[in-house]
Amino acid sequence: MRNTEDNYRHKGMRQQLVNQLRKEGITNETVLAAIKEVPRHVFLDSSFVEFAYSDQAFPIGSGQTISQPSTVAFQTELLAVGKGMKVLEIGTGSGYQACVLAAMGARVFSIERQRNLFFRTKEILEQLPFRLKLFLGDGFEGLPTYAPFDRIIITAGAPCIPPKLIEQLKPNGIMVIPMDNTEGGQTMLRITKQPDGSFAQEEFGNFKFVPMLSGTASD
Active site (catalytic) residues: 67
| Residues near 17 by beta carbon (within 8 Å), at least 6 away in sequence | 35, 40, 53, 54, 55, 69
Crossing angle for the helix pair 8-23 and 29-37, to the nearest 10 degrees: 150
Least distance in angstroms from the C-beta of 96 to ligand SAH: 4
| Distances 152 to 36, 119, 183, 188, 189 between C-alpha atoms, Å | 23, 22, 25, 13, 12
Contact segment (CB under 6 A) with ligand SAH among 30-38, 79-87, 110-118, 186-194 equals 110-118
* Distance between CA atoms of residues 42 and 40, nearest Å: 5
**Member of 97, 120, 143, 165 binding ligand SAH (CB under 6 A):** 97
Classified as helix, coil or strand, 201 is strand
**Member of 76, 114, 168, 186 binding ligand SAH (CB under 6 A):** 114
Least distance in angstroms from the C-beta of 215 to ligand SAH: 8
On whether the CB atoms of residues 91 and 139 are closer than 8 A, the answer is: yes
**Member of 21, 39, 87, 94 binding ligand SAH (CB under 6 A):** 94
Per-position x/- string for 121-140, each x denoting binding to ligand SAH as judged by CB under 6 A, each - no binding = -----------------xxx
**Residue 212 makes contact with ligand SAH by CB under 6 A:** yes
Contact segment (CB under 6 A) with ligand SAH among 8-16, 106-114, 170-178, 199-207 equals 106-114
Strands 149-154 and 132-136: unpaired
* Distance between CA atoms of residues 170 and 150, nearest Å: 6
Contact residues toward ligand SAH (CB under 6 A) are 64-67, 90-91, 93-94, 96-97, 111-114, 117, 138-140, 155-156, 210, 212-214
